[in-house]
Structures are given as structure tokens and as C-alpha cells.
Amino acid sequence: MKPAAAGVAFIAMATVPLSAPGTGPRAGAGAPLVIAHRGASRYAPENTLAAVDAAYDRGLTWVENDVQRTKDGQLVVLHDTTLERTTDVEKIFPGRAPWRVRDFTAAEISRLDAGSWFGPRFAGERVPTLADYLRRLDHNDQRLLLEIKSPKSYPGIEAGVVRELRRRGWLDRAHVRSRLVVQSFCVKCVKAVHGLVPQVRTGILGSPRLAELARYARFADEINPRMSALSSRWIKAVHRLRGPHGRPLEVYAWGVGKNTGVREARARGIEGVIT
Ligand code: G3P
Ligand code: CA
């Protein structure tokens, strides 16, 4: 486990208030919040514990990840629905193409090296289970923007994610108030999460049409689009709506570098950037 690096903060976090009780990731006015996309994935292999720590070392409290399910029903943190880009699966299991996450057990996935592709210093880094990941965030006192990735490939994953969050203590009052948001590109999935745990903040990824926003505001607190898809009219329409917890919907954009992202987020008046 890495040592604490208190006081190391070179990004916006120094000026951004952490979540206040009862609020989302960003509380009140100030600089846009920076959320570490797949962890600090520029500095360490994405979606690994090393990327969580790299975010911590850079003063980033909020971390985004991607959650999927193995053949034997375990939740793991990985972006692609196949394993070959970010692990050595082709070497370890050569006959198992197309190496889909859902075709491998958790024990098999735990054998894979998820760090060497990024750099030799990360050799031996593993694909974390969601449980490992939550434990590390708790240890570092960090917060999680959890993306349920490709839920159509994993029927019922919403209930599994909720079960794991509960088992690991992430549905207690403190976590729910200011340490957790669950998001997905799949609107049905976000609605299902809200149905299971209405107290948890949720986000819809993408840029839904204006006509759809009012319906989505019944079960989503955030709408999180690609930065290039933003328009002033759309942002205003989102901000005018109140989400299921009675507060204006928030917008966290992605698909842009940190410095440009922070500048654009500030200029556009959105709450933050996932970068
Ligand atoms: O959180 C925004 C972002 O993660 C969505 O895109 O493909 O990186 O999961 P992707
Ligand atoms: Ca993601």
C-alpha cells in the first residue's frame, strides 16, 4: 500500500471545495472539479490501483472507473469489454479469442498483467476487483464516479453493483452523501440503479436531446457529455432542471485534456471535467 501524500495538490483541487453533505461532486461555486478519468490514466495504467494512487498523488479526490462482470459473477474494473488491449491475455490464454471479460473467471483475470502494456515499472499490476478498488479509495479517502460499462452484456449487473457497494460499506450515509456517483451511457441502467438505491446520485453519459431531459431528471442528478457536444442552450436547459434530490442537474464533460478541459468547463459554466 502506498504511503499517504498529504498536501500534494497541484491541480484544481486546492481551490475546489470537496463535496459538502448533501451535494454532488462539486459543492458551490469555484473552479471546475477535475475527476481522474479511469484513475490518473496518463500517469499509470488505466483502471488499476496504481492509477487510483496516481490520482491521489496529484491531489485528485474524485476518480472515475469502469465496472464489468466476469463469467463467475465477480465485478472487475476495466474499460474495454475485451482484455487484450490492457492485459497480457493473448500470451496467457492464447486460445481464448476474442478474450471477452464475460468469458473469463475472476481467478483467470487475476493472473493477467494489466500494467506492462503501459510501462515496465507497472509490470504485475492487476485488473482490480471492484472490492479491491473500493478498499483502496477508502484507504486514500477518495471518491468514486463509478461507470457501469456495457450493461447490456451483463444482465442484472445493476443489482450486483449495488450489492457490492453495500457489502463494502459504500451505501452508508457518509459515502452516499458525498463520495459516490453511479453513471452509465445506458439510460435504462441508470434508471434501474436509481430504483434500487434512490438515495445514490446518478449520472447519464452522453448528450440527450432537450426533449428527453425532463424525463431523465426524475432519476439522474448529472448529465455527462463529451465536451465537443456541448452548446450553451443545452447546458442552460440541463441546469434549469432539478434532479431526483431536488437540486439543479450538474454537468461533467469528458473527451478533452486537463488544461483545456478546465478552461472550457469554466468558460461554459459547467461543474467539472472528467479527464
Ligand atoms: O466518464 C466519462 C467517460 O468515461 C466515458 O467514456 O469510454 O472513457 O468510458 P469512456
Ligand atoms: Ca468510463
pLDDT for residue 12 is more than 50? no
Query: Is a pLDDT exceeding 50 seen at residue 200?
Result: yes
Coil, helix or strand at residue 164: helix
pLDDT computed for residue 20 by the predictor:
36
27 pLDDT above the threshold of 50: no
How far apart CA 261 and CA 51 sit, in angstroms, is: 20
Cell of 8: 500534494
- 185 Cα nearest atom in ligand 1: 5
Mean pLDDT for 135-148 is 98
Q: Which amino acid is at 224?
A: N
Q: What's the pTM? A: 0.91
- What are the pLDDT digits (tens) for 228-250? 999 999 999 999 999 999 999 99
Q: Over 50: is that where the pLDDT of 212 sits?
A: yes
Reading the block at residue 157, the C-alpha cell is 449487473
Cα–Cα distance, 153 to 105 (Å, whole number): 15
Strand partners, 34: 273
pLDDT reported for residue 199: 98
79 is a catalytic site residue? yes
pLDDT in tens, 16-25: 333 433 345 6
Kindly state if the Cβ of 66 falls inside 6 Å of ligand 1. Answer: yes
Q: What percentage of the chain has pLDDT greater than the value 70?
A: 89
CA distance 36 to 61: 8
- Which of 33, 34, 37 is the best mutation target for the ligand 1 pocket, counting ligand atoms within 8 Å of the beta carbon and taking the most? 37
**Nearest to 232, CA basis, from 255, 210, 260:** 210
% the chain with pLDDT above 90 = 89
- Please state, as a whole number, how many other Cβ atoms lie within 10 Å of the Cβ of residue 53: 22
Residue 173 has pLDDT above 50, yes or no: yes
Confidence (pLDDT) at 17: 32
The per-residue pLDDT for range 39-87, each reduced to its tens digit, is: 999 999 999 999 999 999 999 999 999 999 999 999 999 999 999 999 9
Q: Which residue has the cell 515496465?
A: 120
The rounded distance, in Å, linking the Cα atoms of 38 and 51 is 7
Q: CA 248, 252, 256: angle at the middle one, nearest 5? A: 155
Q: Which residue has its alpha carbon closest to ligand 1 atom 10? A: 79
Per the CB < 8 A criterion, the answer to whether 122 and 52 are in contact is no
| Residues contacting residue 32 through CB under 8 Å, at least 6 positions apart | 12, 16, 26, 261, 262, 265, 266, 270, 271, 272, 273
CA 158 to chain centre: 15
Q: Kindly give the number of the ligand 1 atom that is closest to the alpha carbon of 35.
A: 1
Beta bridge partners of 143: 62
Residue 5 has pLDDT above 50, yes or no: no
Q: In CATH, which of 3.40.309.10, 3.90.400.10, 3.40.50.1580, 3.20.20.190 is domain 33-80+128-274?
A: 3.20.20.190
Domain ranges of the chain: 33-80+128-274
Amino acid at position 226, single letter: R
Query: Residue 158: is its pLDDT beyond 50?
Result: yes
Rounded to whole angstroms, the Cα distance separating 243 from 228 reads 24
DSSP symbols for 44-90: S-TTSHHHHHHHHHTT--EEEEEEEE-TTS-EEE-SSSBSTTTS-HH
Q: Which atom of ligand 1 is nearest to the CA of 145?
A: 1
* Least confident among 2-6, 149-153, 165-169: 2-6
Q: How far apart are CA 88 and CA 111, in angstroms?
A: 9
pLDDT at 30: 75
- Provide the mean pLDDT of the chain: 91
CA of 146 relative to ligand 2 center, distance in Å: 8
CA-angle at 58, arms to 228 and 250, nearest 5° = 40
37 is known as an active-site residue: yes
